Amino acid sequence: MMEAKIYNSQEWRELPRDGECVVSFLFGERAGPCHGLIDRHHVNPPDERSVQVCHRHHPMLESARRRLFGEPRWKSCPHIHRTREARESCERRLNRDLVAA
């Protein structure tokens, strides 16, 4: 997991955010229209490289990155629970492999 201080540094805030969304560049119309502010997304933390991506396409880029690098995804509980603690407990059981890693 990345440390929050990377995003709060002056250097990080001053990186340019005026280019083209990388998802739109790669996939064109199939990705849909860009929307929102341009974000900087780390390609492979803690590597310093980052790309520019619009707010709408940021989740798509993160999903593609996880799939390319073979990173497992946190599974959400499909059940209805009476308490938040019960839901969290259920999700921990679903994600035993991730929690143990």
Q: For 22-47, write each residue's pLDDT tens digit.
A: 999 988 999 899 998 888 877 766 66
Count the domains in the chain. 2
Q: What is the predicted pLDDT for the residue at 97?
A: 72
Q: Which residues of 34-67 are buried (b: 16+ CB within 10 A; e: fewer)?
A: eeeebbebbeeeeeeebbbbbebbbeebeeebee
Average pLDDT taken over every residue of the chain: 79
Which one-letter amino acid corresponds to residue 96?
Answer: R
Considering the domain architecture, whether residues 62 and 94 belong to the same structural domain is answered as: no
Considering the domain architecture, whether residues 41 and 82 belong to the same structural domain is answered as: no
Considering the domain architecture, whether residues 24 and 48 belong to the same structural domain is answered as: yes
**DSSP H or E stretch at residue 89:** helix 84-94
CB count within 10 Å of CB 1 equals 5
Q: Which of 32, 56, 51 is nearest to 41 (CA)?
A: 51
Q: What is the predicted pLDDT for the residue at 68?
A: 84
The pair of structure tokens assigned to 96 is: 């035993």
Q: What is the predicted pLDDT for the residue at 2?
A: 45
Considering the domain architecture, whether residues 9 and 57 belong to the same structural domain is answered as: yes
Q: What is the predicted pLDDT for the residue at 3?
A: 46
Question: Domain range for residue 88?
Answer: 74-101
Q: Which residue has the higher pLDDT, 83 or 50?
A: 83
The pair of structure tokens assigned to 47 is: 């590597």
Cβ–Cβ < 8 Å for 35, 21: no
